[in-house]
Amino acid sequence: MAEIDEACKATAAKNGLKDCYVRPIAWRGSEMIGVSAQQTKIHVAIAVWEWPSYFDPATKAKGIRLTWAKYQRPDPKTAPVAAKAAGLYMICTISKHAAEKDGYADAMMLDYRGYVAEATGANVFFVKDGVLHTPKPDCFLDGITRRTVIDIAKGKGIEVVERHIQKEELSTFTECFIVGTAAEVTPVSEVGEFKFTPAKLSLDLMDTYAALVRGEAMATA
């Protein structure tokens, strides 16, 4: 991992990029074609490109609209759900394309039990009485941005509760936002039939995270 980290930094520097998206990718070679791939070589590539904001910065603070995804995050007994694996993104791509076709920015996914899980490429947080609630990542990726936002929130004295969240509970939350490497911290105004109003807590975490990853502030600022 240390070698890949250094290669990521070198790739960004080589391309003259200081604020960019970095995507290291590992894949098996073509020496064997089949389910068994014991004799294939592992290859690694690193892509970097400018990606200022996943969502329109002019309207981001107002909150994006999400619909419900058709597919659900799978049982951890059926797939390596803790891995950032390309195959696990297939149902995410299908769901996001369907959402965009209907005029939404993204889709919210439930898990195999019916609990709220995540958006198609970002984790989700909800606010109730000044407390952050976020789904327990027991069948989907525990994202780096998710963990960073939790640390920032705790540094600000905000209580964070990780738990299973029923879909019907969304009516009890006042704020909602999604987090991810590309999404950063993005407020949400709507998830299907449930409405939210981006307010102080969401907007403060959005600004603090943006400043932190650009070296402009400390997480506890």
Same domain for 89 and 8: no
- What is the pLDDT, as a whole number, of residue 59? 80
Classify residue 90: in a domain, yes or no. Answer: yes
For residue 217, what pLDDT band results from cuts at 50, 70 and 90? low
- Do the Cβ atoms of 158 and 131 come closer than 8 Å? yes
Q: Which CATH number does the domain housing residue 24 bear?
A: 3.30.470.10
Same domain for 96 and 35: no
Tokens of 119: 């958006």
The active-site residue, picked from 84, 96, 136, 200, is 84
Classify residue 39: in a domain, yes or no. Answer: yes
Classify residue 135: in a domain, yes or no. Answer: yes
Classify residue 219: in a domain, yes or no. Answer: no
Same domain for 65 and 34: no
For residue 216, what pLDDT band results from cuts at 50, 70 and 90? confident
Q: Please tell me the total count of domains within the chain.
A: 2
Q: Which domain holds residue 8?
A: 2-49
Q: Which residues of 127-166 are buried (b: 16+ CB within 10 A; e: fewer)?
A: beeeebbbbebbbbbebebbebbbebbeeeebeeeeeebe
Same domain for 65 and 39: no
- What is the pLDDT, as a whole number, of residue 219? 47
- What is the pLDDT, as a whole number, of residue 220? 47
The model carries a pTM of 0.91
pLDDT per residue as tens digits for the range 133-172: 999 999 999 999 999 999 999 999 999 999 999 999 999 9
Same domain for 133 and 67: yes
- Spatial neighbors of 62 by CB under 8 A, at least 6 apart, are 187, 189, 198
14 is known as an active-site residue: no
- What is the pLDDT, as a whole number, of residue 218? 53
Q: Find, among 162, 119, 158, the residue nearest to 138 by Cα.
A: 162
3-state class of 6 per DSSP?
helix
Q: Is the pLDDT of residue 174 over 50?
A: yes
Classify residue 159: in a domain, yes or no. Answer: yes
Q: What mean pLDDT is reported for the chain? A: 93
Same domain for 14 and 89: no
